[in-house]
Structure formats: structure tokens, C-alpha cells
Chain A
Amino acid sequence: MGQIYDFIYNLLPYLGMWLHGFLRSLGLSEEAVFLVVGLIKAFLLANFGLIGFAILTYVERKIVARFQDRLGPNVAGPYGILQPVADGIKLLTKEDTMPAGADRWVYNLAPLIIATCALAPLVVIPFGPGAIGADLHIGVLYALAVGAGALVGVLMAGWGSNNKYALLGAFRAVAQLISYEIPSVLSVVIVVMIAGTMSTVGIVQAQDVPYLFVLPVAALVFLLSGVAEVGRTPFDLLEAESEIVAGFHIEYSGMKFALVFLGEFVHALVVSALFAVLFLGGWRGPWLPPYLWMLIKMSVGIFLFFWLRATLPRIRIDQMLNLNWKFLTPLMILNLIGVALVDKGLRAAGVSGGMWAAGLFLFNMAMLIGALALPGYLGRRARMAALAGEAEAEAVEAPVAAH
């Protein structure tokens, strides 16, 4: 019994060792074995992204439907399980309507770039102590950097479509994406600061207490900016169907549209995976095998995305940009300075372990409450001032009208 548990728990390392031994027995040199194993890892990761995308489209529609008290897709196969297959077949047989005057190379390359840059961060997500595509020293920096590469793809799509709405949509999309990158990067910097390394494996190993409880403000802001980066509701202005008709990917049909769509969903998957690695403790957890814990924690983030989509309305672009530049960015900068000072103070006082975590948690909660109370207080003052101004204007008008 213990042997079966041990086998399931260490499934991925055992598979790796068996593969290594098998390839060696075929007579390949060490470098060739490394290349082949690397190729297999890359293939598995890419398929994880693609199949995850297919499953997510189905799961999202089901979950959002349940939130809205309806059933969701249930026609294609039992419980609608074959819906992604049906969608795939439909997209594969759609015609490619390239608009006249579109720049052929730019128009065709853009979806590929968006999808590849969305899939790229998966290689640094750890599914276990040794189960990672490539343990880079700059793990999280790599994930952020290649995510930023998708912006170029968006601009290429908008420009290459030879369509006013596509171009306008691309500008607004890029404005939103670059704005929300700053709080995201700053929250990652806070995690790197506390963990002392940029490697994803190192960050997971440093989390004796999951950073969600140590740095709640950073976690919240990372999730919020993640939702905005992916372009999901309530920040889904990029494809506001009623406003600018699907934004920068208006002119894409069939598989190219599928690639852009894939980019968005895989980006959501990657943000959930990063959230799990940075704040939920990655693969760590009692009793269950590490890869299972990783999948469970990723599902938490993904479920949060669906929950937000089903519940909240869309916010305007100026509200969204104000939220970012006037609230989130100053909050993250002050939080970074505060966490650094409090951490140094706690360490100088010799506190460690649970007490240290509790101290940082209390500081972050105090900052969060203060940050949420301040706009509320300012808003109330502004409303009171506006009401007083109105009452004054009425008082001036009434005697005038009475004449």
C-alpha cells in the first residue's frame, strides 16, 4: 500500500528516470538524451496548454451558466463534453476572409505571435520539486517578459487588419495591457524580495507559509491586474461586443480567431498558475501528490476568473485607467516600501516563522483597510461638497423663481 502511494506521489520523477534510462539504453549520448527529454517535456507542456484551453472553454461556459441559473452546453455529447471538439471542427472549416488591403504578412503572423507568447510562460511553472520545463534563474522575469511580447502581436493584428475599429481596439487594448502590467510587476517584485530569488522553484521552496497570508495586498493586486491583463470581465473592454465589436480581432475568422482566443485563455491559465506558484505555495501541501496540488491551486485562480466574469459588469476605460494609475500603482509602491521596512524591523527584533508571517499579515491588512477607506472618505467628502453646492444653487434659484 505504501509502495503504491509512493509511486503515485513521485509519478513525474519516476517517469523522468525511466525515460532517461530507456534512452540511454538505446545508446544515445548524454547530450542527445537531454535534447530528446527536453523535446518531450516541451511537447507535453505545449499540449497541456492547448488541451487546457479546450477544457477551459467548456468549463467556463458550464460554470458561468450555472451562475446564471441555466444549464450551459449540453447538446454535443453527454453533458456537452464534446462541445470543444464541436467548436474546433467548426473553426477548422470556416473560411479565411482576409480583408482587402490588409498587410498579408503582418495580418497572418499576428495571431501566431499572440498565441505563442501566451503559451511561453508555461515552461517555468513547476509541477513538483523537479518537474519543471526549465528552472531558469530569472524564472518570473522570463514569464513577465514573454507575456509582454503579446502586446506587439496585438498591435500587429490591429494594424494589419486595415480596419478602423481594429486599430482603435488595438490601441485601447494596448493602453489597458501596459497600464496593468506595472502593479503586476510590482507585486511580483514584493514576492521576489521576500523569497530572495527569481526562480519559480526557489519561490515555492521559500513558502513555508503561503504568501497569500503574508502578503495579502500583493496577492490581491496581482490577481486584479491579472484579470485586467487577460482582458476578462470586468475589464473586457478589449472585446466589448456592444461597443467596438470584438476590438482588434474583428477581421479574423476561423483558426486565426481561435489562436487569438487561445491566447486569451492560456494567458488566464498562466496567470492562475503564476498566482498558485507565487502566493498559494505551488506544489506544497500534505498528503496529495505535488502535481495534483498544483492543478487544484490553478483551478482556484481559474474559478475566480469565471466567478468575476459571471458577476460583475464591465467598467469604462477611463475608470479602469484611473483605478490603475491613481490607486493600484501608488498602493503597490507604498506597500513595497512598507513591507521592506516592516520585514527588516521584524528580523532585527529576532522574530521568525509564524510570528513573522503574522506581523507582515497585520501590516498588510492595516494598509489594505487604510487604502480602501481613503477613497471612500474622499468620495464622501466630494459628494457632500457637491450636495452642498446643489443646495446652495437651489436656494439661490428659488427666491429668483418666486418673483
Chain B
Amino acid sequence: MLSAYAVVALYLLLSLALLGATLLLWWALRPKKPNPLKLEAYECGVQTVGDTWVQFRAQYYIFALIFVLFDVEAVFLFPWAVAYNQLGLYAVIEMALFLLLLLSGLLYAWRKGALEWV
């Protein structure tokens, strides 16, 4: 079984190498004429003012958090799904309970306005 992962590792390294080779080829071929105007950050032709720091709203963090929790739930689902065909109705009820608890969490987030973007 580990041999399959050797192929996966080979494939990842090979694609990394191929893409890196394309970048090297580009480095050899491209013109290099640095110019202070070219080095400025792009903002539709307007000069930039102030630091590169954006008003980071907590909304991004809440979405990421909800995503992490649902991702963990999906991870619990995978082994259950693989064993599903051998399991009885009892297991389905257990999983339904698990999922409904999380669905109620999503509903709570919805009602509390945590899912709004603005």
C-alpha cells in the first residue's frame, strides 16, 4: 500500500520540478529592465497612500471558524460512510443525531446574524 504513495510523492515532486523548470526557462528568457515606476504597487494608476494594511473585519474569521467546525464534522462522516453498507438503522440514527446537532448550530449562527457579510 505504501508503494502507491511513493507514486503520489513522485508525481508531486515531478510536477513541482516541471513547473519550476518553466519558471527557470522564463527567468532566462525574460527582459530585465527595472524601473522605479514599475516597482510601485498597482492601484489602477493612482499613487498608494499609507501602509499595506487592510481593515480586517472579524466577519472573515467567523466564516473561517464555521468552516473549520463543519470540516471536522465532514471528517467524522467519512469513515461512517465507508462502513455504511455494513451498518444497520441504528448507526443511521446516530449519524442523523450528530448532523442535526450541527445543523442546529448553523441555525443558531443564522439567527444571530453571524452569517451576514456586511
Determine chain A's interface SS by DSSP, over half rule: helix
Q: Does A82 touch B at the CB level, under 8 Å?
A: no
Q: Does B4 touch A at the CB level, under 8 Å?
A: yes
Return chain B residues, CB-CB under 8 Å to A174: 60, 64
Q: How many Å from the CB of B2 to the closest CB on chain A?
A: 11
Give the CA-CA distance A97 to B32 in the complex, in Å. 9
Question: Which residues of A114-171 are within 8 A (CB) of B?
Answer: 115-116, 119-120, 122-123, 133-137, 141-142, 161-165, 167-168, 171
Return chain A residues, CB-CB under 8 Å to B78: 141, 189, 192, 198
Q: Does B58 touch A at the CB level, under 8 Å?
A: no
Q: Does A317 touch B at the CB level, under 8 Å?
A: yes
List 19 A–B pairs whose Cβ atoms lie within 8 Å, in order of A's numbering.
Answer: A42-B15, A46-B18, A97-B38, A112-B20, A115-B19, A136-B5, A161-B41, A175-B64, A179-B63, A181-B67, A196-B82, A250-B42, A255-B23, A255-B26, A256-B23, A317-B117, A321-B63, A336-B77, A337-B92
A interface with B by C-beta (< 8 Å): 34-35, 38-39, 41-43, 45-46, 49-50, 91-101, 112, 115-116, 119-120, 122-123, 133-137, 141-142, 161-165, 167-168, 171, 174-175, 178-179, 181-182, 185-186, 189-190, 192-194, 196-198, 245, 250-251, 254-256, 258-259, 317-318, 321-322, 325-326, 329-330, 333-334, 336-337, 340-341, 344, 348
B interface with A by C-beta (< 8 Å): 1, 3-8, 10-12, 14-16, 18-20, 22-23, 25-27, 29-33, 38-44, 48, 52-54, 56, 60, 63-64, 66-67, 70-71, 74, 77-78, 80-82, 84-85, 88-89, 92, 95-96, 99-100, 102-103, 106, 109-110, 115-118
